[in-house]
């Protein structure tokens, strides 16, 4: 169990950027997952929110590949981050809501979209496909 030094963090982030430049999405995903495994424990206590960064990269690759079942597992992992635990962050809730919506788990999607809305109002949905806001705003009671 070790917290990474500033130098180790720089190398780690640099490697993540290299992985991000890999052409093939499946190869990028495989490399991001391997790098997640290399992140020292305690993963969620590493500096610079490295855990959040890698989770986000893996999640986005899975969404791009339309693998919503696996994306949901990573979105749930994202709920363990310090940012998700902040009462001001809506991002992780939107992400989890998006995957549930795509998996047609609409009740669960509403649950997460509602929390996101409580935390960030309509602007929580701003960066995402309009269909999520339309679904939430039409379905909320």
Tell me the pLDDT tens digit for each residue of 67-102. Answer: 999 999 999 999 999 888 888 899 999 999 999 999
**pTM of the entire structure?**
0.91
21 and 50 in a common domain: yes
- Is residue 109 a part of any domain in this protein? yes
Question: Which residues are CB-contacts of 121 (< 8 A; sequence separation ≥ 6)?
Answer: none
* Domain co-membership, 94 together with 129: yes
pLDDT band at residue 2, thresholds of 50, 70 and 90? confident
**Residue 76 included in any domain:** no
Which burial class, exposed, middle or buried, applies to 22 when counting CB atoms under 10 A from its CB (0-12, 13-18, 19+)? middle
Q: Which long-range contacts (CB under 8 A, 24 or more apart) does 21-25 make?
A: 25/61, 25/64, 25/65
Q: How many domains does the chain have?
A: 2
Taking the CA of residue 68 as centre, how many other CA atoms within 13 Å lie in the half-sphere pointing to its CB?
13
The answer to whether residues 3 and 43 belong to one domain is yes
Domain contains 81: no
Its domain, for residue 54, covers: 1-71
**Residue 46 scores a pLDDT above 70:** yes
Predicted confidence at residue 1, as pLDDT, reads 63
> Do both 109 and 50 map to the same domain?
no
Q: What angle do CA 111, 49, 77 make, to 5 degrees?
A: 35
């Amino acid at each position: 169990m070790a917290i990474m030094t500033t130098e180790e963090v720089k190398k780690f982030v640099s490697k993540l950027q290299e992985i991000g430049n890999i052409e093939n999405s499946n190869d990028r995903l495989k490399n991001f997952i391997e790098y997640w495994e290399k992140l020292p424990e305690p993963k969620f206590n590493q500096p610079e929110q490295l855990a959040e960064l890698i989770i986000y990269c893996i999640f986005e690759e899975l969404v791009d590949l339309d693998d919503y079942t696996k994306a949901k597992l990573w979105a749930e992992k994202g709920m363990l981050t310090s940012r998700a635990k902040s009462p001001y962050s809506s991002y992780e809730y939107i992400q989890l809501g998006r995957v549930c919506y795509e998996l047609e788990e609409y009740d669960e999607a509403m649950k997460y979209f509602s929390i996101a809305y409580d935390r960030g109002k309509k602007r929580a949905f701003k960066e995402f496909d309009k269909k999520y806001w339309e679904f939430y705003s039409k379905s909320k009671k």
